[in-house]
C-alpha cells in the first residue's frame, strides 16, 4: 500500500522535507493534492472532519493505512526506519529528532522573514516589518543555525560527512533542502556565509548526487521555488550581512 502525503499543491514548502525522504528511498507514495481526480478538497475534508479521531492541525501529514502522522519531524521520525533513512542505534534516533526539530524552528524563522506580523495577510501588507525581521535573520539567526549544523557535522565522532552516525539519514536530506532554500531566498547572504560552512556544503553536494535525489530533482515532481512557498526570493529581504 502506498504512503499518502497530504500537502498544499504548487509549493515545495514543508512538504518537501518529506518528499525528499520518500524519493531518496524510492518509496511508493502518492502526493495526494497533485493527483488527478483528487486535490486539496480531500485534504481539507480530513482536517475539518467532525468525526475523525486523529485530525491534523495543518499539512503536511502522512497517511499510512489507518495511521495518520502530522508535522514534518514526526513524519520523518515515523518514516525514517521504514525507509532505511534512520540510524540503527536508538540513542542516535533521539539525536536525529532533535536535529530535525532545530531545522523545523529554522524553517519557521525563514517563513517569518516575509510574514513577521500576520500569516493571514499578504507580504505586501507587512513589507517594512519584513525588512527588519530579515535583517535580524540574516545578521544573527542564519549564522547561528548554520554554525550549529556545521559544528554537528564537524563533531560527529563517526565523521564521514553525515549529521547522524556513519550513514545518510533524513536529517542529511533536510539539511540539503535548507541550503537549497537559503541559496534561493538569500543569495547575497549565502555568498557571504558559505565559506564558513565547508562541511555543510560538502553534505549538500553529496546529497544532490545521490541517484534517486538527482533523478527527483530533474523530474517534474520537483516543483520550482516560488513566492508562495517558505523560501521566497524578495531581493529587498536579501540584505547584506
Catalog residues that contact its own copies under the rule CB under 8 A: 49-58, 61, 66-71, 73-74, 77-78, 91, 94-95, 97-98, 101-102, 104-105, 108, 112, 116-121, 129, 132-133, 136, 140-141, 145, 148, 151-152, 155-157
> To the nearest whole angstrom, how small is the minimum distance from the Cβ of residue 65 to its own copies?
10
Q: C-alpha angle with apex 169: 167 to 103, nearest 5 degrees?
A: 135
Name residue 68's beta-bridge partners. Answer: 63
Q: Which is nearer to its own copies, 73 or 168 (CB)?
A: 73
Q: Which CB atom, from 61 or from 213, has the smaller least distance to its own copies?
A: 61
Q: Based on CB atoms, which residue is closest to its own copies, 140 or 205?
A: 140
Q: Which three three-digit cell numbers place residue 205?
A: 553536494
DSSP-based three-state secondary structure for 225: coil
Q: Report, in Å, the least distance between residue 212 CB and its own copies.
A: 25
Q: Nearest distance from residue 12's CB to its own copies, in Å?
A: 19
Strands, sheet with 29-31, edge to edge from the N-terminal-most edge strand: 29-31, 3-6, 61-64, 67-70
Strands 67-70 vs 3-6: parallel, antiparallel or unpaired: unpaired
- 91 or 209, CB closer to its own copies? 91
Rg of the chain over Cα atoms, rounded to whole angstroms, equals 18
The closest of 195, 179, 191, 196 to 240, measured between CA atoms, is 191
Question: Could you tell me the smallest distance in angstroms from the CB atom of residue 101 to its own copies?
Answer: 4
Amino acid at each position: 500500500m502506498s504512503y499518502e502525503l497530504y500537502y498544499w499543491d504548487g509549493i515545495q514548502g514543508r512538504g518537501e522535507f518529506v518528499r525528499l525522504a520518500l524519493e531518496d528511498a524510492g518509496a511508493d507514495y502518492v502526493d495526494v493534492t497533485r493527483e488527478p481526480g483528487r486535490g486539496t478538497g480531500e485534504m481539507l475534508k480530513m482536517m475539518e472532519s467532525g468525526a475523525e479521531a486523529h485530525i491534523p492541525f495543518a499539512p503536511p501529514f502522512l497517511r499510512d493505512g489507518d495511521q495518520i502522522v502530522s508535522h514534518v519531524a514526526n513524519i520523518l521520525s515515523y518514516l525514517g526506519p521504514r525507509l532505511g533513512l534512520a540510524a540503527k542505534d536508538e540513542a542516535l534516533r533521539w539525536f536525529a529528532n532533535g536535529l530535525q526539530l532545530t531545522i523545523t524552528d529554522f524553517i519557521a524563522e525563514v517563513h517569518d522573514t516575509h510574514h513577521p506580523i500576520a500569516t493571514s495577510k499578504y507580504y505586501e501588507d507587512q513589507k517594512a516589518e519584513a525588512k527588519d525581521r530579515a535583517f535580524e535573520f540574516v545578521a544573527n539567526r542564519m549564522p547561528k543555525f548554520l554554525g550549529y549544523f556545521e559544528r554537528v557535522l564537524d563533531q560527529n565522532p563517526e565523521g564521514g560527512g553525515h549529521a547522524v552516525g556513519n550513514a545518510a539519514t533524513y536529517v542529511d536530506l533536510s539539511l540539503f533542502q535548507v541550503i537549497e532554500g537559503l541559496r534561493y531566498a538569500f543569495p547575497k547572504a549565502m555568498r557571504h556565509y558559505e565559506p564558513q560552512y565547508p562541511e555543510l556544503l560538502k553534505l549538500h553536494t553529496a546529497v544532490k548526487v545521490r541517484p534517486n535525489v538527482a533523478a527527483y530533482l530533474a523530474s517534474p515532481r520537483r516543483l520550482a521555488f516560488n513566492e508562495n512557498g517558505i523560501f521566497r526570493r524578495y531581493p529587498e529581504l536579501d540584505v547584506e550581512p
